[in-house]
Structure 1
Amino acid sequence: MTHRRPIAWGILGTGMIARKLAAAIAESPSATLAAVGSRNLESARRFAREFGGERAFGSYDEVLRCDAVEAVYIALPNQLHAEWAMRAAALRRHVLCEKPLAVNRIEAERVIAAARSARVFLMEAFMYRCHPQTERLVQVIRDGDIGEVRLIQATFTFKLGPRDDIRLQNAAAGGGIMDVGCYPLSMARLIAGAARGNPFQNPTDITGTAHIGERSRVDELATASAKFPGGCLAALACGIRVASEHTLRIWGSAGHIVVPQPWIPPQKDARILVQREGQSTPTELLVDAPASLYAIEIERVADAIRTGDLEARSPCMSWADTLGNMAGLDAWRAAVGLTFDCERRTGS
């Protein structure tokens, strides 16, 4: 990664995930925080003071129209992602959008079409895809270290606090599948693709079950089974009202792999444990990163913008990869009977 003129960023939103990216911008030599926008001007001002932002606005639109802003990070509730990504593209701003890119595949297609038409960079922000641990894991799979990949097990759960959290609201397209289930699904697709020499592989079938909260009307705990071309299977689980668990296990015809921290790998000594057939103990592969997790993501985006790329390169999320993941999320939600209010209103 090369360090040249910093990219001037605007951030839409001042919540937890916006704070993580703002801290990464402050860390990165490839970025500056030109502006932050919130519906509450004082909230934007506090955020700007804390993270060294140059400007604070009391609306999202003002950030997009600020001449100093080159790229925007969309850290808004899920149901607003597509709208503001398309608005940003229309004003020729490069876009890093927090996952999921949209509420469903139809919306995601519209966002990508807007970015393509405007000739701006667009990436869905799966930060783990930018970490060297993920690149190393893909290489281990491609090298056939555990033979033919047969089964992938991936879990991302955690326990939300107050019941009024926006992720527990159907109107905000919340729930575990959209918030954290997208991680296990995206990883399974990445591994299934690597096993066949591809950047990703879409499942041919997804079934699932979930506990839908009576008050929240979203999935608070969900599981899915996915089948991929060639017979590889995936067992996926996610939850936002249960104890925290981050796991990734991959079984092959000649061994298995455990990744202890698949979604939030550390900067130093990220571990991949490879147990080959006949070994008494696993081989421990240690991976170091050049920066913190979100700072790496910022660097990847900066490099792409400087080289004129409109989309990311694998294992980061390309447009086709995003569309495949959105289709999988649609299928998972359909399997558990989850529809969002915003989909009913728009018919999408």
Structure 2
Amino acid sequence: MSDADIAIIGGGPGGASTGFFLKHIDRNDLKVILIERLENSRYKRYHCMCGEGISKRAFERLKPLAVGAVLNTIDTIEMRWPGGVVSRYKDKGYIIDRSAFLKGVLDQYKRSGGEIVHDSVKSVERSKDGFTLCLFSGQRLGCEYLVGADGASSLVRKSLFGEDPPESVVLQQFVIDRPARPNVMTFVADSMYNGGYRWEFPFGNRCKIGFPMGTDVVEEEILEKHGRRICFGGLSSIVNGKALLVGDAAGQANPLTMGGIRVAMEAGKQAAKSIIQGNLSAYQKWWVKSGFNSPRFMKAFNRSREITNEQLESLIRPFSRFYTYPLHLINYTKSPQDRPLYTSYLTLPLYGW
């Protein structure tokens, strides 16, 4: 007999969302246990390693979840390219206090009857009734369904799926004691970032600056340093029997923006629906067809790793105010190898954050 109908490993965006929607949709009083290894200041510290941006449109898809713990509102995305090219577009979103926001989601999950166990998972094994989890405290926990929301180094993925996402990058981030430009998220593209970018986001009255580790430096006084590995590029399958993967465990972050909060939370919602409906293949099908999983993003990432700054400047000028739409189409036609970059940059507002 299982201790829980459903166990979720990890209380980040994917795990918190899965738990919330399981209890929101559940009409059969299923027993759901979420296992999170970090508490209090350690949990807050871990979740600080994030630009903490999420688009307004995310919450149109995550109802009845609402935005909370907002530090800054965003209305402009600015991209700085080689050669002094700057492109801007209007888009609405938020910089949130990620740990406080997730705590609010988990509190709602608990109020709806969900349980949280603060412990680390030592091993995951299949059993007659589903799965057995061995915890570092010595406790053994059985469950019928298992959701791996346990991050880039997912134990669930390694134990049950035998596959890793094709790409990963270690990002570093610094908190600076000066304000960023209000309401603007700034991205800097350059070949030095090896397919990544440098970001500068508001963080309350301060500023967060980040980039792939070892590619750049921050010369201002640093208040905090953060670092984390991000996996992306997806997996051949995110469902194996009654086990599912969500968020970084599934390599679902966007390959160009490395943004992962929204996609993990939407994946959590879809995973929860598939479990409640008893149709886990629906979650796999959703992911395969989702715009978040479009192959163009990985193609664009691979192209951006090999492109020079001169080529990038030429590619991007159609997005600046100095070029017209007909010239954009001409460049698109003349550069077939760069088409994934064009189409990806145009759809990033929909799926990038």
Q: TM-score, normalised by structure 1?
A: 0.32
> Larger radius of gyration, structure 1 or 2?
2
